[in-house]
Structure 1
Amino acid sequence: MKKLTLTSAAMLEQSIVDPVKRRGNRQSRVPEIIDVSINVLIAAGYAGYTINRVANDAGIRLSTLQHYFPSREALLRATIEEISRRYLERFRHFAENKTHSPQARLETIVDDAFVELIKPGLPASIFESWGLALHEPFARDVVVEMQKQFTRLFAELVGEINPQLSSAERELRGALIMSSLEGLVVFLRWSNDSASKLKTYRNAVKVVWSGLSRADD
């Protein structure tokens, strides 16, 4: 048997494993970090948000986090985009469900909004995103772009309900529905009304959105 020589340097090289390699690749690591980032944004608010806390709550080194997101801005941008994407994909799932009529799909979005927007957790992150957008241009750009995508989604659905409308009119009505949805985010966040009252409001929103979609040009 050959003589085996162990040095402290060799032992350290084997014990200090790159956290990125040890704990996952980019496909698994990035979503994990963003999930933690969303939770920190909700818990601490945009003013108290730090990448150090995200790294700590994620159980990783700051240098590991910065391997994927080199700055607070980069991580917050990805976080806001993910928050918006989740709601956009949720509503798109309903809007593009061709097994139901366009009108039924629009009403399903209303029903879902009244369930999802009163839940604790993720809805609060919408307010933090808006608050950040008031102070940070990069956040404003993200919020405005996502608002355009939501408006486009509603405009396309309006076009299915009322094909005679011009593209400009569809876009206008999509924007009006989007503004109503943004109002719902605020209203439902602070509402302590009974379930029966919320049901009345929900039906009223359906009437308003339907009227916007069906009215003549």
Structure 2
Amino acid sequence: MKDTLLEHYAMLSETTRSETLFDRAASPREKKRVQRIEDIIETAAKLFVRDGYAQFSSRRVANELGISLSNLQHYCGTTENLLLSMIRAKIEVFVTRFHDIANQTSLTPEQRFIKIIDEDMVTTLDPWIASFSFQTWALAEHDKDVNEHLKHIYGEFCRILASLIRDVNPAVTHSKADVYATLIASQIEGLLLYNKQIAADQQHWDDTLETMRTMWLNMIRVG
């Protein structure tokens, strides 16, 4: 049960978790439990990035929090569960956000597509997100469960993109939309790593963003 609870809160967006804590009639004990879970997730993510996946352990997280290992395990169970929950908390929140944008019927399909692209591209400028992603990918090379989980997360993002691509241009086939979505997602992920490692000149960022928008939209419109 404790594993399920931790994963449940890890999947929630920041807004939803905030509502859980303050906007509904939750008992003080429940609020304290949710806050503890959030503290665990945040501390785990900080150590994951700071020390690297190879040095990550539940014991290190417990020490950082100033609690016993058994107390930490009461909330999160195994180190593997903590890792998966942390990854869900830090990556799936973006997929949830993009899913919400894709369903904003007040916008045209092209506007929704651009909004998702713009928000995702902004994350490529964040060195912390880049470091977290790099550690997660490296861990996935050695951990089957993490690998499968990443496939699910990025697969869902590509499905959102592919659906929007076909909304923008219904003439695009399902298979071609999948290819386009994979290309776009991989280019954004590549830029994330490039900006972190190469420190690209940010004065050209607006031109870079506009160029990628135009390139991708032209590809979709032509089909």
Same structural fold, with TM-score higher than 0.5 when normalized by the shorter chain: yes
Match of residue 190, structure 1, among 197, 210, 215? 197
After superposition, the Cα gap between the structure-2 partners of 1:49 and 1:82, relative to the gap in structure 1 and judged at 3 Å, is same
Equivalent position SS for 1:108: helix
**Other-structure match for 1:64:** 71
| Structure 2 unpaired stretches of 5+ | 1-27
After superposition, the Cα gap between the structure-2 partners of 1:110 and 1:191, relative to the gap in structure 1 and judged at 3 Å, is farther
Conservation of the 8 A alpha-carbon contact between 1:107 and 1:206: yes
Match of residue 143, structure 1, among 150, 153, 158? 150
Structure 1 position 111 matched with structure 2 position 118: yes
**1 or 2, which has the higher helix percentage?**
2
**Other-structure match for 2:173:** 166
Conservation of the 8 A alpha-carbon contact between 1:110 and 1:202: no
Deviations 1:133-171 (A, max 9, x none): 011111111111111111111011112101222322222
Conservation of the 8 A alpha-carbon contact between 2:194 and 2:200: no
Counterpart of 1:213, as a letter, is: I
Give the C-alpha shift of residue 83 in structure 1.
1.8
Counterpart of 2:81, as a letter, is: A
Match of residue 188, structure 2, among 181, 193, 200? 181
**Other-structure match for 1:91:** 98
Q: How many residues align?
A: 196
Q: TM-score, normalised by structure 1?
A: 0.80
Query: Structure 2: how far apart are the matches of 1:149 and 1:26?
Result: 30
Structure 1 position 51 matched with structure 2 position 58: yes
Query: Structure 2: how far apart are the matches of 1:213 and 1:64?
Result: 52
Give the C-alpha shift of residue 174 in structure 1.
1.8
**Other-structure match for 1:28:** 35
Match of residue 138, structure 2, among 131, 144, 151? 131
Give the C-alpha shift of residue 29 in structure 1.
2.8
Counterpart of 1:164, as a letter, is: A
- Identify which range, 58-67 or 149-158, moves more after superposition: 58-67
Identical-pair percentage: 27
Larger Rg: 1
Instruction: Output the aligned Cα RMSD.
Output: 2.2
**Other-structure match for 2:6:** none
**Other-structure match for 2:21:** none
| Structure 1 unpaired stretches of 5+ | 1-20
Query: Structure 2: how far apart are the matches of 1:49 and 1:23?
Result: 28
Counterpart of 1:166, as a letter, is: T
- Identify which range, 85-94 or 157-166, moves more after superposition: 85-94
**Other-structure match for 2:206:** 199
Give the C-alpha shift of residue 113 in structure 1.
3.0
